[in-house]
Amino acid sequence: MTFINYASREINCKIVYYGPGLCGKTTNLQYIYDSTATQAKGKLISLATETDRTLFFDFMPLELGTVRGFKTRFHLYTVPGQVFYEASRKLILKGVDGVVFVADSQEERMDANIESLYNLEENLQVYGYDLMKLPYVLQLNKRDLPNVIPSPDLTSELQRKGEPVIEAVASTGAGVFDTLKAVAKQVLTELRKS
Amino acid sequence: MANGPILMRENRYHQIKAVLARLRLDSSARLVVLVDKDGQQIAVHGELGDLDTTSLASLVAGNVAATGGMAKLIGEDEFPTLSHEGAKESIHISVIGRILLVVVFDDRSSLGLVKLRSKQISQELASAFAEIERESATPGARSALPFAEITDEEIDSLFFHA
């Protein structure tokens, strides 16, 4: 939930990167972290297993700049993608202002994408959120791999409501900031409406 | 969004800061932080040093969410307090509705004292935050949002450096 502090003149919003295991959620955050000036970011916290799989969440605060005298800060989170971390994945969605669904473009991950997307909708409902009303972006990741599904096919299968669809290769950074910008813009626009 | 934004006016901020300052003094704590359950830091008072309180807030919220999940699995609503004792520094967390009161303390204090003082001021903090929530929900507060009249150009300008 957006938190506006008039004393420190800050606006804080929460964005969650969701998607199936190994789709590149943490890679998105890692690229943003590596590419952002030190003064605009905090620490990147990764609660991961010994094999570097996300166990609970990754977190990094990112300051985008000042609007109308208020610093706008986005708290970026990832969820654990592996199916059996369902309980902790659900917890991260609490208070979310915007969601990025990171889809794995490889053919063999199509079922995992669909399962994760259903899981997202279900878990949002637990907190009273409706994906149809939430700031939301679909990222088609791993576009550089040889066995990817064509983007139009992937889009027709996974797009839910005409949300922005962004092709990405998170490991090289392609599409990573476009994705962040697309969701952050929706969050701020939503704030204007509220 | 399922709920509107939480707006904390300056007077409420200073009111909460004063309560935190009192708690810190009474409990001989190093630092007192107020966090909401979503991981947002609300206010902090004490010896910050180089402590990253933004990360602390996020991890405290994650910690409380995880232990809350465990509580439900065994038939409890939630665990109202959590304590982590280290060799030199310790943390005590009180769950007060949707806010979390975090006290960081060392051997100048004790867990018993921190628990007692935290409990004594929890109602005061709960009332202050209930007022903040009430004020945030009024139509007047919403229309006075700094972003109510923001333009598309202003939003775009945030991303020039990104």
ipTM tops the 0.90 cut: no
Average pLDDT, chain B: 90
DSSP structure class, residue A113: H
Find, among A12, A18, A67, the residue nearest to A42 by Cα.
Answer: A12
- A 106-135 near B (Cβ less than 8 A): 127-130, 133-134
Residue B68 to chain A, least CA–CA distance (Å): 10
- Residue in chain A closest to B146 (alpha carbons) equals A68
Return the CATH number of the domain spanning residue range A3-193: 3.40.50.300
Mutation to test the B interface, candidates A44, A54, A191, A193, most B Cβ within 10 Å: A191
**A15-50 burial by CB neighbour count: b if 16+ within 10 A, else e?**
bbbbbbbbbbbbbbbbbbbeebeeeebbebbbbeee
Q: Is B71 on the interface with A (CB under 8 A)?
A: no
| Neighboring chain A residues of B7 at a CB cutoff of 8 Å | 4, 6
Tell me which H or E stretch contains B91: strand B90-96
pLDDT beyond 50 at B162 = no
Most confident of A73-87, A98-112, B144-158: A98-112
Q: Is B74 on the interface with A (CB under 8 A)?
A: no
User: pLDDT-based confidence at B1, cuts 50/70/90?
Assistant: very low
Could you tell me how many residues make up chain B?
162
Domains along chain B with CATH numbers = 10-157 (3.30.450.30)
A187 half-sphere exposure, CB direction, 13 A CA radius? 30
- Write out pLDDT tens, residues B86-140: 999 999 999 999 999 999 999 999 999 999 999 999 999 999 999 999 998 887 7
Whether A1 sits inside 8 A of B6 (CB atoms) is: yes
Q: What pLDDT is stored for residue A55 in this prediction?
A: 87
- Write out pLDDT tens, residues A98-117: 999 999 999 999 999 999 99
Q: Is B138 on the interface with A (CB under 8 A)?
A: no
Calculate mean pLDDT across residues A124-149.
Answer: 96
HEC states along A13-25?
A: EEEEEECCCCCCH
- The DSSP line for A28-57 is HHHHHHHHS-GGGB---EEEE-TTS-EEEE
Query: Can you name the residues that pair with A54 across neighbouring β-strands?
Result: A48
Give the global pTM: 0.92
pLDDT beyond 60 at B2 = no
Domains of chain A: which residue ranges?
A: 3-193
